[in-house]
């Protein structure tokens, strides 16, 4: 696999062109710094993209905490759920918030189906979302994706009260909306961000997912303890409302490409074009699917993302339930501690990406080897961390420490395959990126209902 990556003309030609073009035009950096605007337009894109991902992940993960408050835990569970008491309860003295009986008597299997139903919609719009973003522009696709996610998030409490199956349908529709966000952003980064800035920039933007999770989990836990409006529905109303507000700002501040932006400084446009090259606003309608399927580097990315996604999405949806049912944390402590691994992942991901770009700028390592190195770190350290969590058993402190360390090193993925996908098939960037994501998430989410 390694030799195939090194020999791939697709990978090496694009990466070498990126590096050569960037080095040839480093002098343009000084011109860009003299832009007449007080902030660069691609910086605005980064901020809004960051806030967009923070918002959609806040809307995605709030159910992971809310479902703990929604379920009536005093109802006797079926005999096959007896494993929930594998760890002894620590007693009421360690509880920072009194537990309130929930309103729903869903079984563990039903809860798992609800938590996983989002992803069945999520995977359906990823590949078409990427192609639509390339044809019609990432601005509209990304914005509408967040807006639809927000609308269905606001409708979630109503759906839960109406019927269990209706709630599942709304969660699937929410996933359909959010599924286009990553491919749309892939397409926009390809148009806006110079190659030598992509590792760091992508880390900033995509780290919004971790920050959204860090913010959403503790706030959702606190909202669930309130008596107003039932408590847990506030999680959906708050973050759904913020999503609508974000959409309005996004449509006003962001544009598909530098050439279309009415307020961009001409020097910034000149710099971007000099490093990326001329951009065709009307991409070819033909897609080289055979080349995608035969591309060994793309399959390498797929395999890497499979392991990373399994860890990330299982932890994202199941961690609060595990901490409630197995480690017996109360809902407030549960929500706060569940956010800790994502905080460490965010901080470490930013620092590693900055360091990776600095090493590249010194010429100490090639771009391809840098991506391989950080992808290895992001895969191997979390693997050993998960083994440690299994051995830690009911030791709360050890489990939380290992989760935090595992997530921190997992943040290296932003300088690994997340950066690599931005350097292959740049004319069809969103298609291979989302094809890889789709091929990963379909098998992952199809088995989730059986994980319990």
- DSSP letters, 135-161, are HH-HHHHHHHHHHHHHHHHHHHHHHHH
* pLDDT, mean of residues 108-123: 85
DSSP state of 355: H
Strand locations in 58-102 (E)? none
Quote the domain boundaries for residue 412.
2-76+93-450
Q: Above 60 in pLDDT, residue 23?
A: no
Look at residue 37 in the predicted model and tell me its pLDDT. Answer: 61
Q: Above 70 in pLDDT, residue 97?
A: no
Tokens of 17: 């062109």
Look at residue 91 in the predicted model and tell me its pLDDT. Answer: 52
Look at residue 152 in the predicted model and tell me its pLDDT. Answer: 96
CA distance 222 to 239: 14
Tell me, yes or no, whether 289 lies in a domain: yes
Which residues are within 8 A (CB) of 351 and not within 5 positions of it... i.e. 6 or more apart?
A: none
CA distance 249 to 303: 37
User: What percent of the chain has pLDDT above 70?
Assistant: 74
Higher-pLDDT residue of 392, 57: 57
Q: Above 80 in pLDDT, residue 25?
A: no
CB atoms within 10 A of CB 173: 19
Q: Above 60 in pLDDT, residue 92?
A: no
Q: Are 271 and 31 in contact (CB under 8 A)?
A: yes
Tell me, yes or no, whether 235 lies in a domain: yes
Choice among 54-58, 120-124, 309-313 with the minimum mean pLDDT: 309-313
* pLDDT, mean of residues 55-60: 92
Q: Above 80 in pLDDT, residue 320?
A: no
Tell me, yes or no, whether 99 lies in a domain: yes
Q: How many CA atoms lie within 13 A of 393 on its CB side?
A: 5
Look at residue 86 in the predicted model and tell me its pLDDT. Answer: 66
Mean pLDDT of the chain, nearest integer:
76
Q: Above 70 in pLDDT, residue 100?
A: no
Tell me, yes or no, whether 134 lies in a domain: yes
Tokens of 7: 């020999």
Choice among 47-61, 274-288, 308-322 with the minimum mean pLDDT: 274-288
SS (H, E, C) 195-248: HHHHHHHHHHHHCHHHHHHHHHHHHHHHHHCCCHHHCCHHHHHHHHHHHHHHHH
* pLDDT, mean of residues 128-145: 86
Q: Above 60 in pLDDT, residue 4?
A: no
Tell me, yes or no, whether 39 lies in a domain: yes
* pLDDT, mean of residues 321-349: 79
Look at residue 50 in the predicted model and tell me its pLDDT. Answer: 94
Tell me, yes or no, whether 82 lies in a domain: no
Look at residue 107 in the predicted model and tell me its pLDDT. Answer: 85
Which residues are within 8 A (CB) of 295 and not within 5 positions of it... i.e. 6 or more apart?
A: 8, 10, 424, 425, 432
CB atoms within 10 A of CB 278: 6
Tell me, yes or no, whether 199 lies in a domain: yes
User: What percent of the chain has pLDDT above 90?
Assistant: 17
CATH number at residue 275: 1.20.1250.20
Q: Are 320 and 338 in contact (CB under 8 A)?
A: yes
Look at residue 35 in the predicted model and tell me its pLDDT. Answer: 59
Tokens of 71: 């379920």
Look at residue 421 in the predicted model and tell me its pLDDT. Answer: 57
Look at residue 279 in the predicted model and tell me its pLDDT. Answer: 63
Helices in 80-207 by DSSP H: which ranges? Answer: 108-124, 126-136, 138-162, 164-178, 181-192, 198-206
For the chain, what is the largest distance between any 2 Cα atoms, rounded to a whole number of angstroms?
A: 70
* pLDDT, mean of residues 324-340: 78
Looking at the structure of the chain, the number of domains it has is: 1
* pLDDT, mean of residues 135-140: 86
CB atoms within 10 A of CB 95: 16
CA distance 60 to 119: 10
Distance of CA 245 to the CA centre of its chain: 20
CB atoms within 10 A of CB 165: 10
381-384 CB contacts, 8 Å cutoff, 24+ apart:
381/405, 381/406, 381/409, 381/410, 382/308, 382/311, 382/406, 382/407, 382/409, 382/410, 383/307
Tell me, yes or no, whether 83 lies in a domain: no
Tokens of 155: 């409708």
> Residue 189's beta-bridge partner residues?
none
Tokens of 229: 């409006």
Q: Above 70 in pLDDT, residue 288?
A: no
Structure pTM? Answer: 0.73
Look at residue 85 in the predicted model and tell me its pLDDT. Answer: 53
Q: Which of 385, 445, 390, 437 is nearest to 409 (CA)?
A: 385
Tokens of 220: 């959702």
């Amino acid at each position: 696999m390694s030799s195939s990556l090194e020999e791939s003309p697709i990978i090496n030609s694009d990466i070498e062109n990126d590096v050569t073009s960037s080095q040839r035009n480093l002098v343009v950096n000084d011109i860009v710094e003299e832009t007449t605007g007080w902030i660069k337009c691609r910086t605005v894109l980064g901020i809004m993209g960051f806030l967009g991902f923070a918002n959609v992940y806040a809307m995605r993960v709030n159910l992971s905490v809310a479902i703990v408050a929604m379920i009536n835990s005093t109802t006797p569970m079926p005999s096959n759920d007896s494993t929930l008491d594998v760890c002894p309860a620590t007693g009421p003295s360690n509880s920072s918030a009194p537990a309130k009986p929930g309103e729903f008597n869903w079984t563990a299997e039903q809860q798992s189906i609800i938590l996983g139903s989002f992803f069945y919609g999520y995977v359906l719009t990823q590949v078409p979302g990427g192609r639509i973003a390339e044809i019609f522009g990432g601005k509209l696709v990304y914005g509408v994706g967040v807006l639809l996610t927000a609308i269905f998030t606001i409708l979630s409490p109503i759906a839960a009260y109406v019927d269990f199956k209706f709630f599942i349908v709304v969660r699937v529709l929410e996933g359909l909306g959010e599924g286009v966000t990553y491919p749309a952003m892939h397409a926009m980064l390809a148009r806006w961000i110079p190659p030598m800035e992509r590792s760091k920039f992508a880390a900033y933007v995509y780290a919004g997912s971790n920050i959204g999770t860090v913010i959403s989990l503790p706030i959702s836990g606190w909202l669930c303890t309130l008596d107003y409006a039932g408590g847990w529905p506030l999680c959906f109303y708050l973050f759904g409302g913020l999503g609508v507000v974000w959409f309005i700002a996004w449509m006003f501040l962001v544009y598909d490409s530098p050439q279309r932006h009415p307020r961009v400084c001409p020097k910034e446009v000149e710099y971007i074009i000099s490093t990326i090259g001329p951009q065709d606003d009307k991409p070819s309608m033909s897609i080289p699917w055979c080349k995608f399927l035969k591309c060994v580097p793309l399959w390498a990315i797929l395999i890497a993302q499979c392991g990373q996604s399994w860890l990330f999405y299982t932890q994202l949806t199941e961690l609060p339930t595990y901490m409630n049912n197995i480690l017996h944390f109360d809902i407030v402590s549960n929500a706060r501690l569940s956010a800790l691994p994502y905080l460490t992942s965010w901080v470490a991901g930013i620092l590693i990406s900055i360091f990776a770009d600095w090493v590249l700028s010194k010429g100490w390592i090639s771009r391809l080897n840098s991506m391989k190195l950080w992808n290895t770190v992001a895969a191997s350290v979390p693997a050993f961390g998960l083994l440690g969590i299994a051995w830690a058993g009911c030791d709360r402190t050890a489990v939380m420490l290992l989760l935090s360390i595992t997530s921190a090193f997992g943040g290296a993925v932003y300088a690994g395959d997340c950066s690599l996908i931005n350097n292959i098939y740049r004319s069809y960037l969103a298609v291979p990126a989302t094809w890889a994501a789709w091929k990963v998430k379909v098998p992952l989410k199809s088995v989730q209902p059986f994980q319990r």
